[in-house]
Amino acid sequence: MPKNDDGYILDKFRKTINLLSLGQTKRKRFSEDSLAIVNTPALLGKRDALYENAISLLQKDMFSMNAPDRSRAYEKALSYLISGIETGEQIFFAENFKEKEKHENSPLNHYMLLLADTVQSSFVLCNHGLVYEGEKDSISDFIGGKATIQIKADVVVFLGAEKKVLDCAKSLIEKAVPSIESYKSLLKKTMSKEDEVRYKRAYSEFIETERETEQA
């Protein structure tokens, strides 16, 4: 099994579900000069960049990778989505922000949560095969060679399930494209020129940072 922090990632994911509370998040009100409001364009850019980073990973040919590399890709995509959701929960809109209610009532975070949950499922299924490979000799000593052969056949079932769940994640991404494009159009229409500059700067910084990380 690859040396990663999958336990930490899954724990963080569970906390993120609690954070969203399935639509029960209470909206706070801030003055227009408060840091929470001033940071809104930058946080929007950060969240959207994190989402795009996750999508870029998930749209790769995952099954051209070996299992350890796939596991790391799932983990990274899941981490992006979780961070994106958490960033989204830090976003608040000024009273005079255009189309404020549409932004506050946007279900984007909940779509990202469903996508993250789907990716998490592929991640866990992939890691099952890695656990088997790492433990098969000890398992054979414990339950016997014949039983271990049967378990190996069962591992193939998990691999097939991983592929199907990944297909579901890609289908979910595809179905969301029109809504994502509509959301981008709303952002462009409702941001001031100054806010748009700050949004694009933050978006570019996070996209570039992640690309540099991947190349390192």
For residues 61 and 134, give the distance between their C-alpha atoms in angstroms, rounded to a whole number.
Answer: 25
Distances (CA, A) of 207 to 138, 184, 198: 43, 16, 14
Look up residue 60 and give its two tokens.
């790769």
Contacts of 19 (CB under 8 A, 6+ apart): 25, 85, 86, 89
The domain ranges of the chain are: 31-215
Q: What is the pLDDT along the chain (216 residues), one digit of tens a residue?
A: 444 455 566 566 556 555 554 444 445 554 455 545 678 889 999 999 999 999 999 999 999 999 999 999 999 999 999 999 999 888 877 666 777 677 776 788 889 999 999 999 999 999 988 988 887 778 777 877 777 777 777 788 999 999 999 999 999 999 999 999 998 898 888 888 999 999 999 999 999 655 555 554
Look up residue 123 and give its two tokens.
């991640």
Contacts of 216 (CB under 8 A, 6+ apart): none
**What secondary structure letter does DSSP report for 97?**
S
Dihedral sign computed on CA atoms, order 183, 175, 89, 206: negative
| Predicted local confidence at residue 171, as pLDDT | 97
CA angle 77, 80, 82 (to 5 degrees): 110
- Cα radius of gyration rounded to whole Å, the chain: 20
Look up residue 143 and give its two tokens.
């339950």
